[in-house]
Amino acid sequence: MNTRNTRIRRTGIALAASAAALSLSACGVVDGIGGGGSSASPKKGNDITVGLLLPEKENSRYEKFDYPIIKQQVAELTHKKGKVDYVNAEQDADKQSSQLQQMIADKVDVILLDAVDAKSIAKDVQKAKDAGIPVIAYDRLAQGPIDAYISFDNELVGQVQGRAILEALGSDAESRKIVMMNGSVTDPNAAQFKEGALSELKGKVNIAESYDTKDWKPENAKANMEQAISAIGLDKIAAVYSANDGMAGAVIDALKTAGVSKVPPVTGQDAELDAVQRVVAGDQYMSVYKSYPQEASAAAEMAVAKVQGRGIEFDALTRDKTDSPTNKDIPSQMVPVVALTKDNIADTVVDDGIYTVKQICTAKYKSACASITGLK
């Protein structure tokens, strides 16, 4: 994927846009007014079907948060008349292609697509467009004629991770060797995470080994980490940039199995429960918390607004503009992210209702939790 072609321009604050849209729709004054993107879909009532295609199950976010939140939000926005037709591709791009074609055959009203392979799915996006079904790229920027895109600020995710590594290494960062464990090459977000991280790290640390991890799979990250350990030497690895939590777990495993005396700083992303627990225990340096409720709710609002022809609401939800390698000026919303460390677990995942203190502070982590503000 050519990330140089992928630019995001901000023309508004995502959160403000979302709030404005909600209040407009609550007044009931916006039905049918306004432009609202390229494909003119018939205006429908509440009896709608949203097709939801998610990419994998390994990462817990998809089935634990994205799907249930979108389902609930669609129901709420349609007085319980609308439904979500959900499928998961389990990391198989061909399977996702068939799933999308099935959605077209089933004549769903709108599609939310989180692509396994952003490039190869473009031909199916075109088919949906030809059938008059709007496609909204969810979390990953699918290529082809999509109507809108919602994601987190993915370059910022990488920057936050990169900055954390520099902070952890302190003043003598330059002489230290680090390993980069990047995500899957078929996922455009992975390229943006990497680009963001490199913008912080380049020239400031010695990136001794760097890997793109097939399918984001922890087992592949583990094998790569074992290779890095033998190439660099266990004691010479000062930190590991890991693009997500699943891989961070595998990296830490490999380091421990190799006999490391103190785990070096390892980054992550997604605030998965076991990663939050590793942060509590001091095994993982940080994660990146992305508010799934915020992304998923806004995606549901966008989908319903699009189908119901609520142009002003749709425009208010998509004030940013993004270019993909195939399309320009895609109406977008970028949701902000925060670095998750010991200090803000209570203010982020706990406050947002993602996990309870009880879920995080199980018997194994009780004593570590006792010294962390908000988890005592």
Distance of CA 64 to the CA centre of its chain: 14
* Nearest residue (CB) to ligand GAL, 180 versus 312: 180
306 φ, ψ (degrees, to nearest 5) = -60, -50
Minimum CB distance to ligand GAL, residue 216 (Å): 4
Give dist(CA 99, CA 286) in Å, integer. 36
Cβ-based nearer residue to ligand GAL, 152 or 315 = 152
User: Burial code of 314-330, b = ≥16 C-beta within 10 A, e = fewer?
Assistant: bbbbbbbbbbbbbbeeb
In the complex with ligand GAL, the residue whose CB is nearer, 181 or 345, is 181
Per the structure block, which two tokens stand in for 112?
């939310």
Minimum CB separation of residue 79 from ligand GAL in Å reads 31
Nearer Cβ to ligand GAL, position 6 or 78? Answer: 6
The DSSP output letter for 235 is: G
* 17 backbone dihedrals φ, ψ, rounded to 5°: -60, -45
Q: In whole angstroms, how close is the CB of 290 to ligand GAL at the nearest point?
A: 6
Among 115, 47, 34, CA closest to 79: 47
The sign of the torsion formed by the CA atoms of 291, 339, 250, 94 equals: positive
Please, what is the Cα angle at 213 between 211 and 218, to 5 degrees? 120
Of 204 and 217, the one with the shorter C-beta distance to ligand GAL is 217
Nearer to ligand GAL, 248 or 316 (CB): 248
Min. distance of Cβ 270 from ligand GAL in angstroms? 5
Q: Closest CB to ligand GAL among 91 and 97?
A: 91
Tell me the C-alpha distance between 132 and 127, whole Å: 9
Of 114, 52, 105, whose CA–CA distance to 82 is shortest?
A: 52
User: By C-beta, is 36 or 188 nearer to ligand GAL?
Assistant: 188
- For 271: left if phi > 0, alpha if psi spans -120 to 50, otherwise beta; the answer is left
Q: Nearer to ligand GAL by C-beta: 216 or 285?
A: 216
* Minimum separation from the CB atom of position 40 to ligand GAL (A): 30
Give the C-alpha distances (Å, rounded to integers) separating 49 from 53, 233, 289, 295, 348. 13, 54, 30, 19, 32
Find the largest Cα–Cα distance for the chain.
65
Smallest distance, ligand GAL to C-beta of residue 56, A:
7
Q: How do 206-212 and 177-182 pair as beta strands?
A: parallel
| Distance between CA atoms of residues 209 and 229, nearest Å | 10
Using CB under 6 A as the criterion, which residues of the chain lie in contact with ligand GAL when the complex forms? 59, 61, 139-140, 187, 189, 216, 244, 246, 270
Task: Please report, as a single letter, which amino acid is at residue 294.
Answer: Q
Residue nearest to ligand GAL (CB): 189
